[in-house]
Structure 1
Amino acid sequence: MRKTPCFPSPLLTRFLEKELLFIVMPLKNLTTKADFDTYSRQPGVNLVHFSANWATACGQLNEIFEVLVSECKGSFNVAVVEAEDVPEASLQCGVTAAPTVVFFKDGQEVDKIHGFHPTDLKALIVKHTIGGRPKAAEPETAEELNSKLHRLINTARVTVFMKGDRHQPRCGFSRQIVDLLNQLNVDYWTFDILQDNAVREGLKVYSDWPTYPQVYLDGELLGGLDVVKEEIQNPAFVEKMPKIQH
């Protein structure tokens, strides 16, 4: 099984410093194919981390998972499989490298990430929990909504709240912001405000910014399209934006 590159430790440190406001929870270990089958078929959102004890990135990913599971308070589960020790499970999921994370939802495989990609990982967790969860019968309290907005804003280093998503913007301003970020090769995540009116209206108050799109960097509001257009004229600003690694 081939190794994947380790994530730079300074970035991991900053990530954990931000997230370790929560008490971490140990992860479940699946040591047999029967354990894997039982776990992956249970209701809810259940992630399986196919790990290798010789891969530093796998240990780092487990640390991140422990924090995220505690932060999200039961909205999803994570279990660890030593890929080489349970080859039947690895073969079933098409695992060829460690780390690999497989997402199961109500017993069905719905997503997969090969390698160490925390930004993509958090985006998929949001997609299958916050983003895809049916609306509750009772409206969220202000505290619950603010907590949700905080998690969404910090899903990635650069987060864009917009109409539509990066693949299909649904207004001219949103399309322009996507084009700008793509031209700069920025690694960013988007949230479609048309899919959640509570987020759409709540974020205006939370960040004291009445219009969309809204762009956040490292959890702080940058502003809208005009602000970003002005900021990217500064090479130092462009330099600190996270870039997609090819």
Structure 2
Amino acid sequence: MADAPKKIDSLEDMNSFINGPGLAVVHFFAPWAPQCAQLNTVLVDLVGDLKNCFTAAYIDAEEVSEVSVGAKIKAVPTICFYKSGKELARLDGFHPAELRTMLVKLTSGGMIETKRGIVEKEAKGQSLNDRLKALINRHELMLFMKGDPAAPKCGFSRTIVGMLNEHQISFGSFDILSDEEVRQGLKEYSNWPTYPQLYHKGELLGGLDVVREEFKDADFIASLPKRA
């Protein structure tokens, strides 16, 4: 399980964190905003998945106001990206898919080693099938959907996310609207023409209708990975 992001409690903590080696990601949050809590969970997942890519921290934007003023924070949540003490970019609002994309862009050439030893961005000479296989195996349970779990962009995706969350099931996801090559290629790769598509240990379970039927079986639900 990935370590939780560090909590920054002072300007001194902030300066120490962003001047450390590598890419430093700081989430300016407020405890009263539900999306901020969700975004901290997203950061935990990304820290674990994108191995050695970045370090993460969060800071109460109202409690440590001197840091927020210095960083010109206007609203929460806001994610700021730093390297050697310098702000490289920022992301305002709750956008998990864009957060992952920005992390890829802000690392060396977008080449990221995942916890499974997979290169996140398509390497030179890598076939589409190899890339799809890597994506499918990124997590034990992998959902290809429209949008992301926090903001599904179709009713079918929203329903299957709700089913997984209801049973506290741990899963990874990929927004097929963000990559047309993956969206079209996966249909042929798995011979399944629609989305969402749910994969378990690299094998296609099916779409919403199939998964809904499988969820009637308590043993099937018990076989799926649960959140820690």
TM-score by length of 2: 0.56
* Structure 1 residues 111 and 81, CA gap change in structure 2 (3 angstroms): same
Alignment match of 1:129 (pick from 104, 107, 121): 107
* 1:119 matched residue in structure 2: 97
Count of residues in correspondence between the two structures: 146
* 2:186 matched residue in structure 1: 221
* Structure 1 residues 217 and 86, CA gap change in structure 2 (3 angstroms): same
Identity of paired residues, percent? 30
- Distance in structure 1 (CA, Å) of the matches to 2:102 and 2:35: 19
How far has the Cα of 1:131 moved from its partner?
Answer: 2.7
Q: Is the 8 A contact 1:98 1:114 kept in 2?
A: yes
Residue identity matched to 1:202? Q
Q: Is the 8 A contact 2:23 2:83 kept in 1?
A: yes
Alignment match of 1:202 (pick from 101, 126, 142): 126
* 2:26 matched residue in structure 1: 48
- Distance in structure 1 (CA, Å) of the matches to 2:131 and 2:27: 35
* 2:14 matched residue in structure 1: 36
Q: Is the 8 A contact 1:214 1:222 kept in 2?
A: no
- Distance in structure 2 (CA, Å) of the matches to 1:65 and 1:87: 22
Alignment pair present for 1:93 and 2:58 = no
Q: C-alpha deviations, 1:82-101, integer Å up to 9, x for none?
A: 00011111112111111000
How far has the Cα of 1:74 moved from its partner?
Answer: 2.2
TM-score by length of 1: 0.52
Instruction: Find the residue that maps to 1:201 and give its secondary structure.
Output: coil
Residue identity matched to 1:60? Q
- Distance in structure 2 (CA, Å) of the matches to 1:104 and 1:132: 16
Instruction: Find the residue that maps to 1:221 and give its secondary structure.
Output: helix
Instruction: Find the residue that maps to 1:90 and give its secondary structure.
Output: helix
How far has the Cα of 1:75 moved from its partner?
Answer: 1.3
Instruction: Find the residue that maps to 1:202 and give its secondary structure.
Output: coil
Query: Moved runs in structure 1, 4+ residues, more than 4 A?
Result: none
* 2:162 matched residue in structure 1: none
Instruction: Find the residue that maps to 1:216 and give its secondary structure.
Output: helix
- Distance in structure 1 (CA, Å) of the matches to 2:180 and 2:32: 41
Q: Is the 8 A contact 1:207 1:221 kept in 2?
A: no
* 1:26 matched residue in structure 2: 4
- Distance in structure 2 (CA, Å) of the matches to 1:39 and 1:76: 12
Q: How does 1:37-76 map to 2 (within 5 A)?
A: 37-76=15-54
Q: Give RMSD over aligned pairs.
A: 3.3
Residue identity matched to 1:51? F
* 2:210 matched residue in structure 1: none
Instruction: Find the residue that maps to 1:49 and give its secondary structure.
Output: strand
Instruction: Find the residue that maps to 1:50 and give its secondary structure.
Output: strand
Instruction: Find the residue that maps to 1:123 and give its secondary structure.
Output: helix
- Distance in structure 2 (CA, Å) of the matches to 1:129 and 1:201: 20
- Distance in structure 1 (CA, Å) of the matches to 2:127 and 2:99: 23
Q: C-alpha deviations, 1:213-243, integer Å up to 9, x for none?
A: 971139x6357xxxxxxx9xxxx88xxxxxx
- Distance in structure 2 (CA, Å) of the matches to 1:214 and 1:64: 24
